[in-house]
Structure 1
């Protein structure tokens, strides 16, 4: 249930800029001191459809119930003092924002569709993300003691009518170990001097910051806006600390010296205005290009890593943690993930370079080092590991035992969660709009006030 809710909440990021225009809003549910809006449900339905989710006829009832459940779990998590740091919330929010940017093609497109900057979207969604994470932590606590046996898995599968068994597309598990080499000292110095020249041109009035950003900046998210961004001092997961400290040290209208970021490249920053921990800035990004020499050196390093893996001196996973330059490996592992966080993905989840790499590989193969370009436009070299690949087939116990076991375990956990809810619902103040309660009989069990709605 909460997996579906997480997807809908992620999709709801795009709905925030539209809700006031699309619906006449009103409160339709209350749990403790938290409210559920009519627009929350309607926009979640519309965005779920955009994500290709197959929704039942009573989708509004299902999503409303999920929203109630999320708030109950989150409030109980606060009662139980389940820990959740601001850093964890920010990290989860960054993942969702990156997914949106990947879906819509660029940060600029996301901001245009939403009618807000990424930072405004984050501010809107921060309480919702926190609630969702608390709810998930509480759910895990409730079902932590639930386990499944092979006998239960078999019994679960045999209860599913044969004509209801889904047909599964081909899925893959693909991992990578990537190296993103730095540019040579000479190239690095050349880009630095270029940035100094940009600064002189702007300060002399030869050109404007906006015109130069549109012409030379390599940041696709801001180039068409003349380098414009809104930033927050605490957003250290998106920006390097040196970038933030430089941006907030500037005075209005002042232009920085070139600022180097190992993750991105060189920045030229101009502060437009500042209010507390928020600032409006303009920036130009230049990425020092790597040459064939740096890529050749990275090939050599990965040849050595490949030899270690092939000789069983180290596992692929451990090698990824040890050698990969991909920052996501530390938090999410070396395998490509789908929206649910599963390592089983369809081929359309892979970038074009990776599709070309695996097309002739067999399961268990580890590629030779190959060149690629990442989402930020940086050139690198990587090893690609094809862990598994399934053929299209009907769900069955032999090929899909792990999937079926997960399904059976989830059902058992949901039953345990239902028992917990039956005990906990009476301890919360819950009020549901009468029209919603009448149209969704399944919501009646949540109502704890004397009159059945408002």
Structure 2
């Protein structure tokens, strides 16, 4: 069972939205190929999962039917044990997870109607289809967490794990950096903001008169690259407060279908918003964004403020965290404490994970140094001023305990958990009623399950 078991656990933990959606469409020919207690596994469950990996461009593992069936058997066993141990999942928690998935689908497919057409089901039916598998997945994850809640790793175990790796198998790491930045977006003058608002009001009048369509004007005038080519359209949900500017979201949900808002101001600039359709907490809207330009004087003033901040940092009279809080007015920048974050949400990043416009600033910096303040433009066309702080830079190297202890410890801990779970299942399998279709007899990873199935069904 240990071979490939980590991949099985990864599949169990993932549960992507696309995999969930695939379950709404079963293949025509179906049969029971596995059973744990009273929980059945259908051929279509495995076929859909394999097809979903392919559809997303993922790498299909060798013998995918074997590995995916094992993942389902593992999940069913964890669910049964969770019920025995009185581990529960709150219905409201499951409902929230389902709602988040549905909102993700609506956003991905461009609206409620598009989702229903792709799924061949109504939103209500999709939610009903999701309820049982979502609850099972959460129960399985909670049971797994319960089994592993006391597992820890010691420095000696990390050392032993590292020394067990063949030296020619140790990974090679490219250079990694810890990079911070302090950003100021100058506020445009009232006159320029008023002029931009007048432009938007003129566009609104043309649309309301019927001489122009909103989507046409969005393609011509909107400065939002994320929606410009799509006529300014977005799918929204009231609960997505973390994803949208609060003023934008609030204004969108006050509109009636077809209605266009007055000019509103968000952190991105000025907008007019049109409600295309509304269904409860879901809405499809269009918007036109215009960013009031800032003058050279305003940019130079911001540059002067950052020059002062940089001088105090170099003198040691101000810490980087204090400087971020005092000077930066970029909300995203403040949220991370000024640090650039990797895909794994750590402060160590590789060059390819940085904004390309930052790379020239880092070229001549040594660890502990600050770049000169510079004017830059965001992808949305907004002008600001920033400077960069390079805290650390690692050299390209072969993995070692000194430089990479945390990464090695994380892998060692995961392997320890894998072994504990594998042993736990080896002890528990015989206590469940198990059935595995004999056609999977060639699957080495399923041997304990096949043995249990054979002994139960003699």
TM-score, normalised relative to structure 1: 0.74
Match of 2:356 in 1: 352
2:174 pairs with 1:166: no
Shift of 1:179: 2.7
Shift of 1:431: 6.9
Match of 1:236 in 2: 241
Match of 2:46 in 1: 38
What's the secondary structure of 1:234's corresponding residue?
coil
Contact 1:91–1:237, Cα closer than 8 Å, also in 2? no
Listed as ranges, the gaps of 5+ residues in structure 2 are 1-5
Match of 2:3 in 1: none
The separation in 2 between residues aligned to 1:319 and 1:219, in whole angstroms, is 30
Contact 2:12–2:75, Cα closer than 8 Å, also in 1? no
Match of 1:288 in 2: 292
The separation in 2 between residues aligned to 1:386 and 1:409, in whole angstroms, is 31
What's the secondary structure of 2:369's corresponding residue?
coil
Contact 1:41–1:60, Cα closer than 8 Å, also in 2? no
Shift of 1:308: 4.0
Shift of 1:152: 2.6
The separation in 2 between residues aligned to 1:323 and 1:30, in whole angstroms, is 60
2:158 pairs with 1:150: no
2:371 pairs with 1:367: yes
Cα distance, 1:328–1:433 mapped onto 2, change above 3 Å:
farther
Contact 1:431–1:448, Cα closer than 8 Å, also in 2? no
Shift of 1:18: 8.5
Aligned ranges 1:15-414 → 2 under 5 Å: 37-39=45-47, 41-43=49-51, 45-46=53-54, 57-58=62-63, 61-62=66-67, 65=70, 76=82, 80=87, 142-262=147-267, 264-317=268-321, 319-320=323-324, 323-329=327-333, 332-414=336-418
Larger Rg: 2
The separation in 2 between residues aligned to 1:91 and 1:299, in whole angstroms, is 45
Shift of 1:270: 1.7
The separation in 2 between residues aligned to 1:111 and 1:298, in whole angstroms, is 41
Match of 1:100 in 2: none
* Greater alpha carbon shift after TM alignment, 27-36 vs 228-237: 27-36
Contact 1:71–1:135, Cα closer than 8 Å, also in 2? yes
TM-score, normalised relative to structure 2: 0.73
| CA-to-aligned-CA distance 1:76-104 (integer Å, 9 cap, x gap) | 5995458897999699989x98xxxxxxx
Shift of 1:236: 1.8
RMSD over aligned Cα atoms: 4.8
What's the secondary structure of 2:152's corresponding residue?
coil
The separation in 2 between residues aligned to 1:449 and 1:150, in whole angstroms, is 38
| CA-to-aligned-CA distance 1:277-326 (integer Å, 9 cap, x gap) | 22232221222223333332332333343344334445434544565444
Cα distance, 1:347–1:182 mapped onto 2, change above 3 Å:
same
The separation in 2 between residues aligned to 1:448 and 1:329, in whole angstroms, is 56
The count of residues paired between Structure 1 and Structure 2 equals 432
What's the secondary structure of 1:147's corresponding residue?
coil
The separation in 2 between residues aligned to 1:308 and 1:91, in whole angstroms, is 48
Shift of 1:181: 2.9
Shift of 1:212: 0.6
The separation in 2 between residues aligned to 1:71 and 1:304, in whole angstroms, is 61
The separation in 1 between residues aligned to 2:71 and 2:312, in whole angstroms, is 48
What's the secondary structure of 2:370's corresponding residue?
coil
Contact 2:234–2:285, Cα closer than 8 Å, also in 1? yes
The separation in 2 between residues aligned to 1:16 and 1:46, in whole angstroms, is 15
The separation in 1 between residues aligned to 2:303 and 2:134, in whole angstroms, is 40
The separation in 2 between residues aligned to 1:4 and 1:308, in whole angstroms, is 50
The separation in 2 between residues aligned to 1:223 and 1:377, in whole angstroms, is 13
What's the secondary structure of 1:181's corresponding residue?
coil
Cα distance, 1:172–1:260 mapped onto 2, change above 3 Å:
same
* Greater alpha carbon shift after TM alignment, 171-180 vs 194-203: 171-180
| CA-to-aligned-CA distance 1:19-74 (integer Å, 9 cap, x gap) | 99998896877788797833553245436755xx7x75346645665566577778
The separation in 2 between residues aligned to 1:79 and 1:243, in whole angstroms, is 44
What's the secondary structure of 1:178's corresponding residue?
strand
The separation in 2 between residues aligned to 1:74 and 1:385, in whole angstroms, is 49
